Amino acid sequence: MFSFFLTSGLFLGWSLGANDASNVFGTAVASKMVRFRTAAVCCSIFVILGAVMSGAGASHTLGKLGAVNAIAGAFIVAFSAALSVYLMTKARFPVSTSQAIVGAIIGWNLFSGSSVDQAALTKIAMTWLVCPVLSGIIAVVLYQLSALFINTCRIHMFRLDLYTRWSLLVAGICGSYALGANNIANVMGVFLPVSPFETLFIGPFSLSPAQQLFLIGGIAIAVGVFTYSRQVMMTVGEGIVELTPVAASVVVWAHSIVLFLFSSQSLETFLASNGLPSIPLVPVSSSQAVVGAVIGIGLLKKGFWSVKWKIVGGIVSGWVTTPVIAAVVSFISLFFIQNVFQQEVYTSQKTLSPPPALEKKLARAQMPEGLKNNPITKITE
């Protein structure tokens, strides 16, 4: 039974790989600086490494799917998110897996009668607006710094080509590792409590049950990268505005910086301890970061009319419709599976012995500092 429920997680992993690999290697592949095969191999390896080595710490995204308190419900939530991402990928739009899951969770909340924290939801939605803008600004600044450096150092065209390739490859590898580390919880987090795996010893190494699940999820992402990511890569890389390799490299770095800003607990702690306004730890979309950076470069280099706004409009409408589709699919599927297959998709709060307020407070106190203010945490609580 577990294997059957795991399939929706694998489907979500595949969708994530098909869609999000475009964010880290799309511009590199579209500008022909990195071959698709090289990009796919690097992305797959580092996604799996990120998932297995750092996946456990990436619960800031959607490890909170555990709040969906029945395995059949979790299966449907993951399936709805995966289906939404798949449909948008099929339409060649770089959507956000995180958005899809937020939508699917809201669908579950509506179905199960759980309350949705409006303030947290507004905060997430606001961040989805801020993320591409911030990414665009960072890309413009980085691009101008790069131009200054290249013009000052008088780098030969072929050396610049070499450096740019390495820059794209390193940025892509970092991005892939972060993708695996941050998003594996989206894919496999829900199955952790019911994992039947035992700790596996391979020579001096050991794989915990969680790591084994993350490995399977990582492989699903890698399969998605290999089998379906190429089309979306081309949309991101050349659909909006044509990019030079230097600009492509800047886009990937800007995307990585934005993801870091919105996901670094240590940065948040540092800002807070120095009395500075902290950046909310919100699961921002890497797709939005890349699209924002590409538009920023396009506006800087060639002006307003060089950007293919029709395509941008299509992508943005995808961002709006993805969570809505996920929520609707989730709601309908939950209804279907509950009433047709007689599966328990949520555990009624009335039948549970509600945790005392003190226990809730303790549970919250044990959370990592960055998670306490995480809007996703609030939504799923």
Partner 1 sequence: MKFNIISRETGIEKQINDFMDQVSRSGLVFQKGARCYLTGEYENFDSVLADISVIEHKGDELKRTIIEHLHTKTLIPESRGDVLELLENMDSLLDRFKGALWRFEIERPEINLEFVNDFSELIDGVVASVEAIVKSARAFFADISSVRDHLHKVSFWETECDKISTRLRAALFRKEDLRLSQRMLLSDLARHIEKISDRAEDVADRMNIYVIKRTL
- Closest separation in Å from C-beta 230 to partner 1: 17
Q: Find the shortest distance in angstroms from Cβ 41 to partner 1.
A: 15
Query: CB of 294: closest distance to partner 1 in angstroms?
Result: 15
What residues contact 301, with CB distance under 8 A and at least 6 apart?
143, 241, 247
Q: Which residue's CB is nearer to partner 1, number 27 or number 229?
A: 27
* Distance of closest approach, residue 287 Cβ to partner 1, in angstroms: 24
| CA pair distance 210, 191, nearest whole angstrom | 9
DSSP state of 60: T
Dihedral sign from CA coordinates of 19, 127, 177, 80: negative
Nearer to partner 1 by Cβ, of 159 and 360: the residue is 159
Footprint on this chain of partner 1 (rule: CB under 8 A): 31-33, 35, 143, 146-147, 150-151, 154, 156-159, 161-162, 244-246
Give 154 or 310: the residue with its C-beta nearer to partner 1.
154
Task: Between 158 and 304, name the residue whose CB sits nearer to partner 1.
Answer: 158
Looking up tokens 């007689």 gives 342
Query: Minimal distance in Å, beta carbon 31 to partner 1?
Result: 6
Rg (CA), the chain: 21
H helices of 31-156, in order, are 36-54, 71-90, 97-112, 118-153
Please calculate the CA angle 79-122-64 and round it to the nearest 5 degrees.
Answer: 40
Q: Which is nearer to partner 1, 296 or 375 (CB)?
A: 296
Question: Phi, psi (5° rounding) for residue 205?
Answer: -100, 155
In angstroms, give the least distance from the CB of 299 to partner 1: 15
Residue number with CB closer to partner 1 (123 or 230): 230
Residue 207 parent element (H or E): strand 205-207
Residue 17, φ and ψ in degrees, nearest 5 = -65, -45
Q: Give CA angle at 277 (62, 360), nearest 5°.
A: 45
DSSP 319-345: HHHHHHHHHHHHHHHHHHHHHTS----
Give the residue with the Cβ less far from partner 1, 106 or 307: 307
For partner 1, the closer of residues 33 and 213 by Cβ is 33
Is the backbone of residue 342 left (phi > 0), alpha (psi -120 to 50) or beta? left
Tell me how far, at minimum, the Cβ of 135 lies from partner 1, in Å: 20
Q: Quick one: DSSP state of residue 374?
A: -
Nearest to partner 1 of 119, 153 (CB atom): 153
- Minimum CB separation from partner 1 for residue 168, in Å? 12
- DSSP-derived 3-state class of residue 182: helix
Q: Which is nearer to partner 1, 238 or 268 (CB)?
A: 238
Cα–Cα dist 13/227, whole Å: 12
Cβ 156 to partner 1 shortest distance, Å: 5
The CB density around residue 343, as the number of other CB atoms within 10 Å, is 16
Shortest Å, Cβ 234 to partner 1: 14
User: Are 242 and 29 a contacting pair, CB within 8 Å?
Assistant: no
Q: How far is CA 307 from the centre of its chain?
A: 25
